[in-house]
Structure 1
Amino acid sequence: MEFRYLGNSGFKVSEITYGNWLTHGSQVENDVAKTCVRAALDAGISTFDTADAYANTAAETVLGEALRRERRESLEIFTKVYWPTGPQGHNDVGLSRKHILDSINGSLRRLQTDYVDLYQAHRYDADTPLEETMQAFADVVRSGKALYIGVSEWNADQLRAGHALAQELGIQLISNQPQYSMLWRVIEPEVVPASVDLGISQIVWSPVAQGVLTGKYKPGEEAPAGSRARDEKGGANTVKRLLRDDVLTAVQELAPVAADVGLTMAQLAIAWVLQNTNVASAIIGASRPEQVADNVRASGVKLSADVLARIDAAVGGIAETDPAKTVSPTARPA
Structure 2
Amino acid sequence: MVNYRYLGNSGLKITELTYGNWLTHGSQVENEQARACVNAALDVGITTFDTADAYANTAAEKVLGEALKGERRESLEIFTKVYFPTGPKGPNDVGLSRKHILESINGSLTRLGTDYVDLYQAHRFDHETPLEETMLAFADVVRQGKALYIGVSEWTADQIRAGAALAKELRVPLISNQPQYSMLWRVIEGEVVPASEEAGLSQVVWSPVAQGVLTGKYLPGKAAPEGSRGTDDKGGKGMISRFLDDQELLERVQGLKPIADELDLTMAQLAIAWVLQNANVAAAIIGASRPQQVVDNAKASGVEIPTELMARIDVVLGDKVVSDPARTAQSSPATRPV
Shorter-chain TM-score bucket reads over 0.9
What SS does the corresponding residue of 1:326 show, helix, strand or coil? helix
Alpha-carbon displacement from aligned partner over 1:205-258 (angstroms, at most 9, x marks no partner)? 000000000000000000000000100111100000011101100000000100
1:117 equivalenced with 2:137 (yes/no):
no
1:249 match: secondary structure: helix
Check the 8 A contact 1:183/1:316 in 2, yes or no.
no
Q: Write the mapping of 1:243-258 to structure 2, written as runs, cut at 5 A.
A: 243=244, 244-258=246-260
**Which residues in structure 2 correspond to 1:5-154 (within 5 Å)?**
5-154=6-155
The one-letter code of the counterpart of 1:135 is L
Q: Distance in 2 between matches of 1:165 and 1:90?
A: 26
CA distance in 1, matches of 2:128, 2:139: 19
The residue identity in structure 1 corresponding to 2:256 is L
Letter in 2 for 1:64: G
Contact 1:267–1:298 (Cα < 8 Å) also in 2: yes
When the two chains are superposed, the root-mean-square deviation of aligned CA atoms in Å is: 0.5
Q: Which structure 1 segments of 5+ residues have no match?
A: none
Aligned to 2:296: 294
Deviation at 1:316, TM superposition (A): 3.6
Opposite residue 120 of structure 2, the aligned amino acid is Y
- Whichever residue aligns with residue 259 of structure 1, its letter is D
Extract structure 1 runs of 4+ deviating beyond 4 A: none
Distance in 1 between the 2:77 and 2:148 partners? 10
Q: Any idea what SS the aligned residue of 2:121 has?
A: strand
Whether the 8 Å contact between 1:190 and 1:323 is mirrored in structure 2 is yes
Counting only pairs closer than 5 Å after superposition, residues 232-311 of structure 1 correspond to structure 2 as 232-243=233-244, 244-311=246-313
Secondary structure of 2:207's aligned partner: coil
Normalising by structure 1, report the TM-score.
1.00
What letter is aligned with 1:291?
Q
Q: For residue 310 of structure 1, report the CA deviation from its aligned partner.
A: 1.0
Equivalence for 1:194? 195
Q: Which amino acid aligns with 1:246?
A: E
User: How far off its partner does 1:317 sit?
Assistant: 2.2
2-structure distance, mates of 1:317, 1:280: 27
**Separation (CA, whole Å) in 1 of partners of 2:318 and 2:107:** 42
In 2, Cα distance between the equivalents of 1:127 and 1:317?
36
Is residue 203–residue 282 contact of structure 1 (8 Å, CA) maintained in 2? yes
Instruction: Name the CA distance, whole Å, in 2 between partners of 1:110 and 1:22.
Output: 17
Aligned residues: 334
For each residue in 1:270-302, what CA deviation from the matched residue of structure 2 results, as whole angstroms up to 9, or x when unmatched? 000000000000000000000000001000000
* Map of 2:333 onto structure 1: 329
Task: Deviation per CA, 1:122-154: give whole Å up to 9, x if none.
Answer: 000000000000000000000000000000000
> 1:231 maps to what in 2?
232
Structure 2: gaps spanning 5 or more residues? none
